[in-house]
Amino acid sequence: MRRIGLTPALCAIAAMLTACGGDDAGSSGAISSGGSSPVPGATPTPAPSTAACSLESRQAWARDTLNEWYLFPENIAAGVQPASYSTVDAYIDALVAPARALGRDRYFTYLTSIVEENAYYEQGTSAGFGFRLVYDEAARRVFVSESFEGAPALAAGIDRGAEILAIDGRTVSSLFASGGAFAVYTALGSSGAGGATTLTVRDASSERVIQLARRDFALDPVSDRYGTKVFTSGGQRVGYINLRTFIDTAEPDLAAAFAGFRAEGITQLIVDLRYNGGGLIRTAQALGNLMAADRAGQLFGEITFRPSKAADNERFTFQPPAQAIAATRVAFIATQDSASASELLINAFTPYLGPNMALVGSNTYGKPVGQIAVDRPECDDRLRVVALRTVNAAGQGDYYRGLAATVPVTCAASDDLTRPLGDPAEGMIATALQWLGGGTCTPISATATASASVARTGTPAKRRLLQPAQPANTVERELPGAF
């Protein structure tokens, strides 16, 4: 975690690019109503009911931190009265409302638990059913887009492509009829480990009723089933890496995968970030370094803060380890849910690979800013503050409307739930292989933004990850659509 040790008052401050959440226009298909949701297995420490951790004290601390660090100080609302808000979160939302209205801070600034967040980023600790869901509003259907190893859903035989027909005796169709996607989200969203839900599930082999209990599990950021592959296409060997999230535990798996690619002389890659909502900058750097054996010392990118914090600006270079390969052609698979650290990684290679890289799938979310973490341990409070902007070696940043307009080559492709992830015949992977082999493709529309909504584009995406507009915890921010 990138630490800035210049301000003693900051107990912990770390640069990161976290997941997108949603904006007021329903970005990424996020559900606009609130609701309960799965949380990591680590139990947040309740804020002590002392004067130091009173609502008034915590609100004042949040306000002072924003005034010191917020990237857009001119967009902090004036005259907001803390007494008008019953929670710290609501007060923070009111303070950053002007930036949110400009699309600069779509719930990127928030209060979270130190214990909960550390458990996720350091160990991948989570709790729930262990699957990710997408929904089709028009058809009133919900499907599993991914199941995580070591979690209850996969152990019960529920995997990618399965359809959820009913939840606790209520059909998904009737839930949509009663309250849209939010009703489905609410039916599934009881918090934490231990709760059991009865699901009616249909897949290619059967339709069955399963009682599924939530429990703690450790997320594997690079799946042992399909996280790394080697394909042969058009006489070329192509390395495939699927990264679910940018957390500490990803780095050993990434290094091992690239050691294998290097041993096979692979220089063409497919980097699959289709659901990756972001995470730690240092993990994005680790993956980028593994792709850049020939770029040691060249500029990876730059982090800049507001003018008053310019002393903390940082330029960082490629530092390839022994396992690195010299990637010559790369297809990055992404969707409107690929955000933050995913976008930083893609953007970093644009000045170097040019037409030898492609964005495959759909436009990305559009989050060229990152957060620092300012901790108040006595209250288990961590304030994630949008405080930094990222740019690549060519100075390109500010891609608030996604990367489709800046990546030299784009190829539109659909997420094919009839095929497993890691299958060369799956829609997005097949398109990536076709492009890598010299084939042509249909460009992604840069006007259909990653934060697409009916109001902005007139045609919402057919399938969207089932998630709230305002994430409530680390899992919802970093693993969009996960339950």
Cα 430 to Cα 233: distance, rounded to the nearest angstrom? 10
Same domain, 238 and 187: no
Residues 81, 166, single domain; the answer is no
Q: Do 208 and 251 sit in the same domain of this protein?
A: no
* Domain presence at residue 141: yes
Q: What is the pLDDT of residue 46?
A: 52
| 381: in domain | no
Q: Do 142 and 198 fall within a single domain?
A: yes
Contact 111, 382 (CB under 8 A): yes
Question: What are the pLDDT tens digits along the chain (483 aa)?
Answer: 232 222 323 333 344 554 443 332 223 344 433 332 333 344 445 555 567 899 999 999 999 999 999 999 999 999 999 999 999 999 999 999 999 999 999 889 999 999 989 988 888 788 899 999 999 999 999 999 999 999 999 999 999 999 999 999 999 999 999 999 999 999 997 555 567 899 999 998 899 999 999 998 999 999 999 999 999 988 899 999 999 999 999 999 999 999 999 999 999 999 999 999 999 999 999 999 999 999 999 999 999 999 999 999 999 999 999 999 999 999 999 999 999 999 999 999 999 999 999 999 999 999 999 999 999 999 999 999 999 999 999 999 999 999 999 999 999 999 999 999 999 999 999 999 999 999 999 999 876 544 332 222 233 347 899 988 777 888 888 888 999
Sequence-distant (6+) residues with CB within 8 A of 472 are 34, 36, 37, 39
278 contact partners, CB below 8 Å, separation of at least 6: 16, 17, 18, 19, 20, 245, 246, 339, 340, 341, 342, 343, 367, 477, 478
Q: Supply the pLDDT for residue 479.
A: 87
- Cα distances from 209 to residues 130, 193, 388, 444, in angstroms, run 17, 20, 48, 40
CA dihedral 466, 471, 472, 475 (to 10 degrees): 70
Half-sphere exposure of 261 (CA within 13 A, CB side): 32
Q: List, as one string, the DSSP characters of 122-176.
A: HH-EEEES-EEEEEETTTTEEEEEEE-TTSHHHHTT--TT-EEEEETTEEHHHHH
**Does 399 map to a domain?**
yes
Q: What is the pLDDT of residue 193?
A: 57
The predicted pLDDT at position 451 comes to: 38
| Domain assignment present for 483 | no
Helix (H) / strand (E) element for 97: namely helix 97-101
271 and 401 inside one domain: yes
Structural domain total, the chain: 3
**What domain range includes position 445?**
228-370+386-456
Same domain as 362, residue 299: yes
Give the CATH number, domain containing residue 200: 2.30.42.10
DSSP 430: H
Check whether residue 30 and residue 93 sit in a common domain: yes
pLDDT of residue 476: 83
Same domain, 42 and 92: yes
Residues 114 and 173 in one domain: no
